[in-house]
């Protein structure tokens, strides 16, 4: 019978479960909890600084993104001859520009024709032809001659001759555009208010056409230099300095914007979420640039004098800013593609649902293919083994294609993204998780039955 201690507890037995080893464990748990609370209290301050600088870098990239697009556009137009010719070539076929150029050439020719002595100055053998041509037009002599001259000018400008003159002249004088931005001379001229193109070659063609039609007096017209206004602004003198700066920054500003976005994302705590917000913010900044181009178009046209053709000026503005608007659409499309890719690869519930629906659809297609006898052979296990490498190679190929593409558009960005998506679907379709050796070693299929050595139920 064990000894009893009625007078009190046994001094060698612990009086409570919190003594000894259990108490030391409790103290260790309390120390760990205190350390976690201390680190959690210090972490928000550290995260706040990271979030502040991350937001600052991203905001700065959004501010510089429109300037980078304008700078790259300016550098391309000034430094790339083919780009410049491709920009101005459609102007030769624009109806509004053709009408304005025909009016300008007509005014230049009419200012050198002496109407009272027009018929007397014509050769006797050509006078009947000239009277017949002028008589069809009706009205006063001046109106008849002006209509006659304008028809010939319109014929020259609407023909391929004018288009060749326009393209060849702009290709030859492209270096004069740089002089224009610095106040130099050439066929493209610049003064304090406007940029103009000399239409003297067109006037010579019109004079020759008039002589061929019987107006031999046009042969005595001296060489006429008439300017066709391409750009007019009261602040063009100040714009030259800005254009030179933008031309220099045409390459480095876009690179700086990309670096700022990358640095802002890497500095953030929730990188995937910040990446989506950053690229969408850049897209919004570019959309604001597109809106600004539309608003500035109206302001620019309203500031022009009444002597300038509004339709022609609008056509020239739209043509010159065409590639800049293309850049806006390209950046917006690229930002949307990156944001969708970052969101779909994230841990969100909706993103997971989309991924699972994608995989389920491909598994259904693969199941249907297997049902009709499709086999991947050794390709399936190879794709499964190196799937990560294959995925990154495809992504790198898409990025490299975009970087090497000369002036990609927004549609090109979408096509590259869709091709990459199709390639990823093919990889998912070919992924064979079961090696063919496993299925081959199992032998021919047999009906399910009891394993050898297992008892069978009687009856």
pLDDT digit string (tens) for the chain, length 459 residues: 444 445 445 544 444 555 555 667 777 777 777 776 665 555 555 677 888 888 899 999 999 999 999 888 888 877 777 888 888 888 888 888 888 888 888 887 777 766 555 555 555 565 566 655 555 544 466 677 778 788 878 888 887 877 887 787 677 666 655 555 554 444 455 554 566 666 777 777 777 777 776 666 666 676 666 666 666 655 555 666 666 777 777 778 899 999 999 999 998 888 889 999 999 999 999 999 999 999 999 988 888 777 777 888 888 888 888 889 999 999 999 999 999 999 988 888 888 898 889 888 888 888 888 888 888 888 888 988 898 899 999 999 999 999 898 888 889 999 999 999 999 999 988 888 654 444 444 444 433 444 444 444 333
List the helix and strand counts (H, then E) for the chain: 19, 3
Contact 126, 214 (CB under 8 A): yes
Predicted pLDDT at 432: 80
**In 198-348, which residue ranges form alpha helices assigned H by DSSP?**
200-212, 236-248, 252-267, 271-303, 310-320, 322-344
Q: pTM for the complete prediction?
A: 0.69
Predicted pLDDT at 438: 44
> With the CA atoms of 194, 200, 205 and 208 taken in that order, what torsion angle do they form, in degrees rounded to the nearest 10?
140
Predicted pLDDT at 177: 58
**Tell me: the pLDDT tens digits for 400-430?**
999 898 888 889 999 999 999 999 999 988 8
Predicted pLDDT at 444: 43
Give the sign of the dihedral formed by CA 254, CA 83, CA 186, CA 197.
negative
**Rg for the chain (alpha carbons), in Å?**
39
342: β partners: none
Non-local (6+) Cβ contacts of 351 within 8 A are 343, 344, 345
Predicted pLDDT at 257: 92
Predicted pLDDT at 289: 94
Nearest in space to 86 (alpha carbons), one of 281, 246, 323, 266 = 323
Predicted pLDDT at 398: 93
Q: How far is CA 149 from CA 110, 155, 160, 215, in A?
A: 8, 10, 19, 10
Nearest in space to 148 (alpha carbons), one of 218, 97, 96 = 218
Place of tokens 């989506």: 276
Tokens of 24: 């030391």
As a whole number of angstroms, the distance between CA 130 and CA 118 comes to 10
As a whole number of angstroms, the distance between CA 178 and CA 186 comes to 10
307: β partners: none
Beta strands 227-232 and 188-190: pairing type? Answer: unpaired
Contact 146, 157 (CB under 8 A): no
């Amino acid at each position: 019978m064990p000894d009893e201690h009625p007078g009190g507890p046994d001094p060698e037995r612990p009086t409570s479960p919190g003594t000894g080893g259990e108490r030391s464990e409790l103290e260790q748990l309390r120390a760990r909890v205190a350390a976690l609370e201390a680190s959690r209290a210090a972490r928000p301050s550290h995260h706040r600084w990271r979030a502040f600088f991350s937001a600052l870098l991203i905001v700065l990239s959004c501010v510089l993104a429109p300037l980078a697009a304008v700078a790259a556009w300016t550098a391309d137009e000034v430094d790339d001859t083919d780009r410049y010719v491709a920009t101005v070539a459609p102007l030769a076929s624009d109806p509004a520009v053709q009408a304005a150029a025909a009016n300008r050439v007509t005014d230049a020719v009419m200012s050198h024709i002496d109407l009272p002595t027009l018929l007397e100055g014509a050769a006797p053998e050509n006078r009947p032809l000239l009277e017949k041509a002028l008589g069809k037009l009706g009205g006063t002599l001046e109106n008849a001659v002006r209509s006659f001259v304008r028809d010939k000018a319109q014929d020259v400008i609407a023909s391929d001759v004018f288009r060749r003159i326009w393209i060849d002249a702009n290709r030859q004088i492209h270096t004069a555009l740089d002089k224009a931005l610095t106040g130099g001379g050439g066929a493209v001229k610049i003064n304090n208010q406007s940029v103009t193109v000399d239409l003297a070659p067109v006037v010579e063609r019109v004079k020759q056409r008039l002589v061929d039609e019987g107006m031999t007096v046009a042969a005595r017209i001296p060489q006429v230099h008439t300017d066709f206004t391409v750009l007019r602004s009261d602040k063009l003198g100040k714009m030259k300095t800005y254009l030179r700066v933008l031309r220099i920054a045409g390459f480095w500003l876009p690179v700086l914007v990309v670096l700022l976005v990358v640095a802002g994302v890497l500095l953030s705590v929730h990188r995937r979420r910040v990446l989506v917000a950053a690229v969408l913010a850049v897209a919004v900044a570019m959309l604001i640039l597109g809106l600004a181009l539309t608003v500035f178009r109206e302001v620019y046209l309203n500031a022009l004098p009444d002597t300038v053709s509004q339709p022609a000026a609008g056509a020239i503005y739209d043509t010159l800013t065409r590639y800049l608007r293309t850049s806006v659409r390209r950046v917006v499309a690229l930002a949307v593609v990156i944001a969708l890719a970052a969101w779909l690869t994230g841990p969100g519930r909706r993103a997971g649902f989309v991924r699972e629906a994608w995989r389920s659809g491909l598994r259904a297609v693969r199941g249907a293919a297997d049902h009709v006898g499709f086999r991947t052979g050794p390709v399936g296990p190879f794709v499964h083994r190196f799937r990560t490498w294959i995925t990154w190679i495809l992504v790198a190929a898409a990025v490299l294609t975009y970087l090497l593409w000369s002036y990609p558009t927004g549609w090109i960005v979408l096509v590259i993204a869709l091709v990459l998506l199709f390639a990823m679907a093919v990889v998912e379709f070919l992924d064979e998780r079961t090696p063919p050796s496993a299925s081959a070693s199992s032998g021919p299929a047999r009906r399910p039955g009891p394993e050898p050595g297992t008892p069978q139920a009687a009856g």
